[in-house]
């Protein structure tokens, strides 16, 4: 699984939409929202999931820590991480 630090929401959204990803889920954040994108499976390619988790930089700004999962094992791991993140925020 690939990890990218300090990604802006604007950059992630533009790149995801440009490459055919669709928003699958959103978690309301404090400064920016965390977002889950998916590029559906086709006959020639497995599904790819991108998750951007809000990461606080200071009291006035946030960015996203982004994970990209391409394999079935990584996709399952990332979806579990997403669910745990949501549960932690809503507890």
Asked if residue 66 lies in contact with residue 57, where contact means CB atoms within 8 angstroms, the answer is: no
Question: What global pTM score does this model have?
Answer: 0.90
pLDDT of residue 42: 83
Q: Is a pLDDT exceeding 80 seen at residue 85?
A: yes
Compute the chain's Rg from CA coordinates: 13
**How does DSSP assign the chain, residue by residue?**
-EEEEEE-HHHHHHHHHHTT-EEEEEE--SSS-EEEEEE---SSS--EEEEEEEEEEETTEEEEEEEEE-SHHHHHHHHHHHHHHHHHHH-
Average pLDDT over residues 49-56: 95
Going by pLDDT thresholds of 50, 70 and 90, the confidence category of residue 46 is confident
Q: Where are the domains of the chain?
A: 2-90
Average pLDDT over residues 53-60: 91
């Amino acid at each position: 699984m690939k990890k990218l630090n300090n990604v802006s929401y604007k950059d992630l959204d533009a790149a995801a939409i440009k490459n055919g990803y669709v928003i699958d889920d959103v978690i309301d954040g404090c400064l920016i929202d965390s977002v889950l994108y998916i590029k559906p499976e086709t006959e020639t390619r497995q599904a790819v999931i991108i998750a951007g988790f809000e990461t606080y930089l200071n009291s006035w700004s946030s960015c996203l820590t982004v994970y990209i999962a391409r394999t079935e094992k990584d996709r399952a791991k990332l979806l579990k991480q997403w669910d745990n993140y949501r549960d932690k925020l809503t507890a």
